[in-house]
Structures are given as structure tokens and as C-alpha cells.
Chains A and B, each alone.
Chain A
Amino acid sequence: MNRYPVWKYAIILIALLVGGLYALPNVFGEAPAVQVSVAKATLKLDSATMARVEDALKGANITADAVSLDSASVRARFASTDEQLKAKDAIQKALNPDPADPSYVVALNLLSRSPAWLSALRASPMYLGLDLRGGVHFMLQVDMQAALSKRAESLAGDIRTTLREKNVRHSGISRNGQTIEIRFKDSATAESARRIIQDQFQELTTVETADGTDVKMVASIQPVAARKIQEQALKQNITTLHNRINELGVAEPVIQQQGLDRIVVQLPGVQDTAKAKDILGRTATLEIRMVDDGAEARAAEQGTAAVPFGSERYLERSGAPVIVKKQVILTGDNLTDAQPGFDQQTQEPAVHLTLDAKGARIFRDVTRESIGKRMAILLFEKGKGEVVTAPVIRSEIGGGRVQISGRMTTVEAADTALLLRAGSLAAPMEIIEERTIGPSLGAENIAKGFNSVTWGFVAVAIFMCIYYMLFGLISSISLAFNLLLLVAVLSMLQATLTLPGMAAMALVLGMAIDANVLINERVREELRSGASPQAAIHAGYDRAWATIIDSNVTTLIAGLALLAFGSGPVRGFAVVHCLGILTSMFSGVFFSRGVVNLWYGRQKKLKNVSIGTVWRPDSTNQATTN
């Protein structure tokens, strides 16, 4: 009655093997490493890059424990942090001859020390959370209202252009919050304008009201379109953050959307929070406008007259004032890329801009009409605007490829390109949550979590072995098996392990032993009421099963609630908690039964089972079965 068919043992064996294999990488720990990835989309990582890294190391007389290449990076592992730092400098020097324009991101990282065959099986150690490895965590809130206002502003510009093209005369277009107000002299013009807007700007709805003799038309963004704008704004901000963080040189940054309007950024290993915050918190937006070249504006530039109506005064990077018209021609939204380079004819340093289709069309029209005039590219940071560059338009520029050149050094070109790229945030962001964990605290937290789990486990195992003898030993083995499975599953899923997660691991082990206590108590009870050892084992497991299921389901409900509604540390706790409950059902019942069956199942005339004292209230002789 207490025998398992072969397939059940096969399942146990496979679980043991797979679990052991995937838990194994955690044993080897992590070694300091240098990680090289590309900073430019045009470059590719291949074995040639790896060879260059190896050459660089050889040249600097540093021996790496291993150099490996995967789809996104070349990684070199070192024995000590000293060598790691030296290697980083050497590789940086070899791969990025021009530090102003780095082609590769060279970052410090930690790599698993596990042997190559384990990595080939995609077995990697558990992913440690920031509280265990040190680093910075930010939560950014995207200002969606600003994104919508910005969109309304650019739509207002588009409507102005379109109405002019179609020869519809209006008496003023302005943005009011997130709506656009257009005034017309009579309702016939308003009607034709309405038709054009409905035809060409499907994301707008219009309402007309009479305003004295004029007709006022209010165009607002439709809810569906608004949602789309918000999604795009969030996506664009995430992309921009990616670019900015690449420039920071972080090995494994996490940049994720959270909710509808939030972005979580995690930078493991980063300690220079001031710089990180500076780069992330840069709420820069980019605008291209025309320079006002009227006489009044010239005077204003000299400081001898007031700034003319419809223009604003900004400073260039050099400090020289520039009077710029208020009307925005293009925003950073239309700029897809900016790279430093050289003018093909003059070999002067230049910045190459790439515009999207809409941007290209507007740019062509504007440049055709204003050859010889100056345009200004403005960068707004923290509400303050600055003219990045104000070149003269030499000819009509079509096709969306724009080159800015003249009076620039290579470094200036690289700087300008970087600023232009980083400037394309779709909406401003604000840091609403920040956590910085120093590296020493991370290491301490690992030790604390590890000690809690180890000593708790040892205490429980000792107690079980004394109280339930062999059955207690089997319970302890299945508890160890549970831990192994839990670690293996966490490693396989690459779920983030945090300190609360380690606490959950300890707690779940304490709870998992419940199943075995239930079983052992039931077996004792059956023995007490006079059942034969084999029957007692059988009945004990069978009867305890229903109870175990019930109690695990209620615990799981609590775990799932934490998973669904928790955030940050609570989620880390909940993941381990839920997984632990699931693995405990397998190890506590299925696995421990397997071991018991293996030990006792084959003995036909079993007289004693080693489950500690079976005390009978009715007899004066204590039946001790050992």
C-alpha cells in the first residue's frame, strides 16, 4: 500500500536534478566584471569587438578569468575589483579613442562565477534587488497635462499652416490650456474651416459659438486621441531615459513603465546619485523657432530697445542674447536623431539631424521661405530656455536631413548632438520616489537574510529530528528540498530577490513544515488508535492531504492579494511567498511520501516506525516505537 510507481520516483528525480542544476549557480557567487555594450545604433557587437577587448587587456597586462560575448554585450570577468577597475580604464581607452564621442559603453558589473556549461543551460543565479546589491531606484511621474498642452500647441501651429494653405481667413488662433481657440469673421468661413479640421485633424472635436459678430471655434483633443498621446509620451520618455542612462554607463539598468503615467528606473551599482538625478531629472524639451531679424529686434539684441511683441529674448551658450519669435516651428517630437559628424565638402565638424516625415515637410516649407535668415534651436531645462545653436539657413532643406555646421569644434558638435538627443522628452517628469542603498548595506542585508534563513532552518530541523525521529529527519530533508526548489524556481524566473523576499523565504519554510507536522501527527494518531504501521502511514498521509490543501489555499489567497496590490518591497515578499507555498505542496507531501515509501514501503512485516513516542492514554505501558 505504501509504494510509489516508478514514474512518481522519476518525477522526484527529475525535480531534484533540474532543481539542483538551476539552484547551483547561486553557490558560485559573483565576480567583478567589465561589460561593454554599444552606445550607437549603427555599431554592432561581434567577435571583432571581443578581440579588441582581449587585445586591450593583453596590452595592459591584465588577465581576465573569462571573456564572453552575447547578443548585447561583451563581458570580461576578473578576480578582484582592483583588476576590474584597471581593466575598465584600459578597455575604455582602447575602444573609445575620443572620450567626447564614445562608441561603446564600458560599465562595471557583477557576473556569475558559475562555469560555462551552466551558463550555456541558461542557469543563472537569482537576480538580486537593489537593497541587496546597492544602487539607486527612482520612480518618475510623467506630467501628462503638459504633454497634452504641448500637443495642443503644435496642433494649433498645424491648423494655422493648413488654413493658410487652403486660403481660409481666420482672425486669430490661440491655445487655451489643452484646447485651441480659432476666431472667424463669419459663420461661412467657420464652416469651411470646420470641414478642413474634421478632414485633416481627426483627433480634434470642434464646438462653435457665436461671440458678438465673430464666430469662436473651440477645438479639443478627443479622449481616445488623448490617451494615445499619453501612451506615446510615456514611451518616448522611456526611450529618452534609455539613451540618457546609456551615457551614464550602467551595466543593467531597469527602465519600466508602471501604471499609466509612471516610470521606474533602477540603476544597480550606481552610487553617484547626484549625477544620476541630474541626468534623469533634466526636464529638457527642444524647440526650433525663427530668429526675429526685424530692426526692433536688432535693437533689443543690443539692449537699446524693448523686446518686440511676439518675440522673446534668450541667451546663447556663449552668453550672447538672441531675440527669437514665440511661434514654434518644430518640437523635439519631430526630431528622431542627432549625431555629430563632419561636413562632406568642407570637412568642418557638424551635427546631423534627422527629422520625421511631418517635421521634414514643415522644415522644407520654412527653409524655402526664409533663406538667409537665422533659425534657433532652443533647449528648455527646468523652465529656462537656452539657445543651443542659431545657424543661418543657406538653402531649402528637404528630405528631413539637416546639417548644422560652421564655427564649431568636434567637442562642441558632440555636445550639441547629445543635448539635442537628450532634449526630446515628450513631457516633463518629476521624481516622486527615490531610494539609494549603499554597497556596504547591500552586502550586510544579504548576510542578514542568509543568516535568518540558515539558523531558522537549522533550529526547525533539529527540533523535528528530536521530536519525530526518522520521520522528522524525512520532514527536514523535504524542507531542504523545498528550499532548493524555491531557489531554483526563483533563479529560473529571474525574479528579483530582495530582503523582504529573503524574509518570505524564512517564513515560508516555517509555514511549510506545517504540512509535515500535520502528517506526522496524523500517523501518530493512527498508531495510537491501534492501526498497523503500514496502514497508519497510509491513512496519515491521506487524511492530512485535505487539510493541507485547505490551509495552503487560504495562505495563497493572502499571498495573491499582496502580489496584486503590493508594490516595491511588498511585491518582492509576495512573489517568494506564493512560489514557496506552491513548492511546499510538492516537497512536503509528494516528495516526503516518496522517501517514506522508499524506506518503509518494501517491508512487508513492518512492526515499528520511527516517529518518536506514540503515547497511549489507555495503557500504562508506553509503546515506544523506534
Chain B
Amino acid sequence: MNRQIIRLTYVALVLVGVLVVMTTYWQTWAAASLADRQDNAIKRVAEFSIDRGLIFSFEPRKRLARNVEREIGGKTLFFRRYPYGALAAHAVGYSTVARSRTGLERSLNDYLTASNANLSTVVDKALDELRGRSVQGSNVVTNLDLDAQALALEELGTRCGAVVALDPRSGELKVMASTPGYDPNLVEEHFGEISSITADCTPAAPLLNRGSAGLFVPGSTFKVITAAAALESGRYGPEAPFVDPGYCTVYGKRVNNFDTTRPFGAIDLTNALASSVNSVFCKIGLKLGAKQILDTAKRFGFYERPPLETPLDERLPSGLYRSGQLYYPRLDSDVDAGRMAFGQERMLVTPLQMAMVAGAIGFGGKLQEPHVVDRIVAPGGKVIEDVKPRLIRQAVSKKTADSVAAMMRLAVERGTGTAAQIFGYSIGGKTGTGETGVPGANTTWFIAFAGRDDESPPELAIAVVLQNQSGTGGETAAPIARIVMQAILQGTENP
């Protein structure tokens, strides 16, 4: 029987050996992906013993997230407080015991808890642990301009909407405001108060960051892309002549201008954009086809999630959507290019994406990566991540960008966007009114860039969106854009 017993011994030892292998697998190979899972309450709770890194605004330098220490069961635990409450809630997010993290608290968790794989933090952390001290996380400095952020929220008021402002030269994100907002200090124990928030829109969705995860009908702001596509195609110049009858015929049906009572008659492309004439862009769309316009949109970042430091699922790609899914047509005939060209036809965009479009147009066609993080600093003061400007791509040629920029300047000078004029600055903008067919339920837009003069690169790009409006983009969104832009531009002038 001994031969059998020896074989059985091998079987028994292999069985236990498999357990050693699998323990190794879970504790080394799979540990990181398990730690990232949102339902991993053990990791989440364990990380409360870490002196979590702070999160700062850029200007003025304030603590957006800080810690309070509490002794529980002989252990020092660190709980989050957000001194400015709802002010930067959507970008910063929250870190609580009860719920999984959001915002930068989630995406930068490895830095904030010093568990990023970096030699110096690994050594520091091990030393902290050996000394029995609390591990200290790294601090994050954001690009957020707290005063402009506060002003944007104040201007949005009780309306549902968002304001996103960035520096198109560097991609620094200065404002990321979304309403209705919420106080992240309430998440831990009073989440019911947040879920019962109501607003001028349903669902109110206060936790949703409308700036980067809200999808809206772009309306006429999309004409900026159509105009760029038209110029890039070489078939049209800025002075290309059109005749506006007040409507455009698509598949034998009439698609009307915003105001059908006063057709413009003979008009060139530049004035058509400044006055936002639907029929002109409808004709361009039919001529170019949907795919050519969409390909230009892709050059501006459509059909991909904008690269920001916030969590992946808090940033949505812009583009055509069909039954909740991003959709790219296989054939030109799959999409009504005429209506798409002026921003209807299931085109959905985020304010962040539209701010990037406005910025790239103003900045000679250069699309810069947006950044909400300025730098990450280890507890000793060593800068471990210093975010530098990065070009995504030259979206369109400088010539095209400059021509479209001139059209947008004309729109602010004497077109639909006059409400955004700021004395002493050169502003180019585009209004948008996405009609839902229900009165008082329009989505209104204003996107713009602003610089010292027509020649120097713009210092600021902005996108403002409002839900459920009865007015137009020029009447509702453009004034907000002006106030926020003025605060940032003149704030930097007189520090």
C-alpha cells in the first residue's frame, strides 16, 4: 500500500500548496485591484488611520479639505472636514467611512494616503509605521480660484447648471462649479439631507458634477465646430456667401431659424456665426456630411473622456448619443447632418469639453490638457508631482482657429453675445439655446475666450450652461460668463 500512500501524500501536499499560491495571489497580485474596489469597506476604513493629505485651492490659498483627529478604541483616526462646504464639492469630492469616495479624494487617494508607489514615500511610510506614528499623506494644491468659484455658484443661484473656466494656454482649471450642489460635510451622517435636495430640474442630482459629467444639448455653440470644419475642408472661406431664407430643407422638411420672422437674406459665414443663423450651418452640414464635422469635433476632444485628474466616471465624453450610449455613425446618411451642424440631433456635450473648444479656438487651434491639480507635495515639502502644460494636439490649423476666433469676437461685439462684453478686454464668444420643445425648458449656453487684445493669446476660456430656461443663451448664460471672467481677469491684474 506504500506506493499509494506516497501518491496520496503528493495529492495532499499539492492541495495545501495551492492554498499558499492563492494566498500569495490575493495578497500581492490582486491586492491593488481589490484595494481600488468601491465596495472595499475594509481598505476604506483602514485608511482612516492615515493622516490624510490636505487639498488646497490655488488662489487664495485655502484648505478645501482638512482632518480632525479622534481617538477611537485606542487608535488615532483622521476624519475629513471641508471648511468651504459646497464651494468646491464637485471637484474635491468627499472621503467618508459610510460611502465610497468621489472627486479628487477618490482619484488621488494613493497620494493622499501616501500609498503611491514612489520610493521616498514608501520609505517615509515604513518609518512612520515603525515609529508607531500615523502615516502622513501628501498634500494636493489645485488650480481652483476660490473667489471665482464662489461667484460662479452665486450667479448660478437656484438654477441648475454649471460653469467651467480654464486657462487655455496651460490648461489650468480655475472654476468647476455645478448647481445644485451639496455640502460634503453632510455625507457621512446626514446623507438624507442631500438626497432630499430639490431644484429647478428633475432629477436634481446634487452629487452630479455637471461641469464634466453633465451631458447637454450644445445648441448653437456647436456651430463653432461646424464653422471650423467648413474652413478646414477648404470649401468655404470666412467670407463665403450664403442666402438665408429663414429655414433650411432637410429630407423635404423645413428646419426653422430661431426667429423665422426675419430672414437675413444675403449673409457671409462670419456674420452667420455672429448672428447664429441656423439655415447657413444647416446647409454647410448637408454639404460636408456628418462624419466630416464629427471628425473635426474629435480633433477638439469629442468621443474621448477629457483628461482631468478627477475619477474616470466623473468625466463623460461628448458626441452623438443613442439610447444612452456614445455612438459614431457608420455612414453619413445615418445622421441628419443638417440639424447636427447647429447642435441638435442627439449631440450631447459637457461644459468642460465646450470650454476646451473655446480655449483651443482662441489659442490658435492648440488644445491643451485641462488640469485641476497644480502640484502634489510630500509631507517634507518635496514636490512629487508638478503638473506641466501638455498639448493634446493641434485641433485645427492656426489660420482656421484665428478665423473662427474673429467670428466669435464679432458675436460678442455686435451679434448674439453682446452681454459678455468686458471693457478693456477682447472677448470672443458663442451663444447657444438648445430647444427641448417644451416652453421654459431650454438649455442655454455661452462659451467664450478672453484676452488682453486680439493679438495676444487668451488668458481664459469659459463655458456656462443653464437648464430649464425660457430665455436665450445670450440673455441668461452670457451675463454669468462676463461676471466670472471679469473676476478672474481683473483678480489677476490687481492681486
* A, B in one complex: no
User: What is the interface of chain A, defined by CB distance below 8 A to chain B?
Assistant: none
